[in-house]
């Protein structure tokens, strides 16, 4: 495993970081508790020291699972990356900016983006309780909220740093203009954004900004929620209530299959899976500090962690990038 410094925060994270969206179950067709805990343990046992979650993931369940999985382990050896600002409970209903309706266990929850100071303080206390800890290593704005001034959100996180409840502040899904506005109030450690072989939009504006301002990028959905594993072109099937039934439709699946067919020989030659090759390529792109990889069982977690064992020559890296550029 490689470990990389996140901007100027002082945090050092495992380049493959465990992404805990799927184990929450919401939008992912449910989850198996013990499999999820086993996945976290397998990640930690194979050098993945950083775990990324959010209150929205399973409406608190993802955080609770992480809290249970790390109980009794050395807290200073684990980095907890968390978020705030996707609101679903009744006390905040209707506040903020409406996002979408989420289905969870047969019920519908209107989800709002809400980054007010009062809500941040409330969410952090709830997250600390679920995680069973007294501090969060990196607290991140989950999504921009048009109803709350960025300055108010950043000042709230600055207060939490001073209180020792968080070690560093980050954002998610911010564009370069929003990063510039936030920088007037606080030094951000990172921006967590969607990035993959099929989605390289951030290379235009966000990557140049973070490189110039010494920030980190945490890349989420590097495998496009499993599409780039290749298994959905074979035997794997999705549950009916899995959001990926619609999500995969945005991509030209024939082009995706052609890409995977072109790069698979490199994976085979290195005795690696397509997933591992995709993760390793992503980790080597300019500006990318950390790559999030979800796992719903121990085998997937080990496979993800071992991606960093792959060595790619310059020629191999250039070949893969050339194939990616055809998408």
The half-sphere exposure of 221 on its side-chain side, counting CA atoms within 13 A, is 17
- DSSP conformation class of 7: T
User: So what's the architecture of 3-324 in CATH?
Assistant: Alpha-Beta Barrel (3.20)
Q: What pLDDT, on a 0 to 100 scale, did the predictor assign at position 91?
A: 59
* Residues belonging to the active site: 57
Domain segments of the chain as ranges: 3-324
Residues near 22 by beta carbon (within 8 Å), at least 6 away in sequence = 28, 31, 294, 295, 296
Q: What pLDDT, on a 0 to 100 scale, did the predictor assign at position 225?
A: 79
Q: What pLDDT, on a 0 to 100 scale, did the predictor assign at position 305?
A: 97
Contact call for residues 158 and 210 (beta carbons, < 8 A) = no
Query: In terms of Cα–Cα distance, which of 60, 59, 55, 45 is closest to 14?
Result: 45
Q: What pLDDT, on a 0 to 100 scale, did the predictor assign at position 105?
A: 75
- Other C-beta atoms lying within 10 Å of the C-beta of residue 274: 18
Q: What pLDDT, on a 0 to 100 scale, did the predictor assign at position 234?
A: 60
Q: What pLDDT, on a 0 to 100 scale, did the predictor assign at position 256?
A: 85
How far apart CA 97 and CA 105 sit, in angstroms, is 24
DSSP one-letter string for 281-321: HHHTSTTEEEEEEE-SSHHHHHHHHGGGG----HHHHHHHH
Spans of the chain below 50 pLDDT: none
């Amino acid at each position: 495993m490689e470990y990389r410094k996140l901007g100027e925060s002082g945090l050092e994270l495992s380049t493959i970081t465990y992404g805990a969206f799927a184990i929450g179950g919401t939008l992912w067709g449910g989850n198996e508790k013990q499999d999820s805990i086993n996945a976290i343990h397998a990640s930690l046992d194979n050098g993945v020291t950083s775990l990324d979650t959010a209150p929205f993931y399973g409406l608190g369940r993802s955080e609770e699972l992480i809290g249970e999985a790390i109980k009794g382990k050395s807290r200073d050896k684990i980095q907890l990356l968390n978020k705030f600002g996707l609101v679903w409970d009744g006390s905040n209903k209707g506040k903020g900016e409406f996002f979408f309706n989420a289905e969870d266990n047969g019920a519908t929850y209107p989800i709002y983006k809400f980054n007010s100071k009062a809500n941040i303080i409330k969410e952090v206390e709830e997250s600390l309780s679920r995680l069973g800890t007294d501090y969060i290593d990196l607290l991140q704005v989950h999504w921009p909220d048009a109803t709350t001034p960025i300055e108010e959100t950043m000042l709230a996180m600055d207060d939490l740093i001073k209180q020792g409840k968080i070690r560093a502040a980050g954002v998610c899904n911010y564009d370069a203009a929003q990063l510039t506005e936030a920088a007037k109030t606080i030094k951000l450690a990172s921006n967590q954004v969607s990035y993959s072989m099929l989605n390289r939009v951030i290379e235009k504006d966000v990557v140049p900004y973070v490189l110039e301002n010494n920030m980190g990028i945490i890349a989420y959905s590097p495998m496009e929620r499993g599409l780039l594993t290749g298994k959905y072109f074979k035997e794997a099937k999705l549950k009916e209530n899995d959001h990926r039934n619609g999500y995969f439709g945005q991509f030209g699946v024939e082009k995706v299959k052609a890409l995977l067919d072109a790069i698979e020989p490199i994976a085979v030659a290195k005795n690696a899976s397509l997933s591992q090759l995709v993760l390793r390529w992503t980790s080597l792109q300019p500006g990318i500090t950390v790559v999030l990889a979800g796992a719903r069982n121990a085998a997937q977690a080990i496979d993800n962690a071992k991606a960093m064992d792959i060595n790619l020559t310059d020629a191999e890296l250039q070949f893969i990038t050339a194939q990616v550029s055809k998408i």
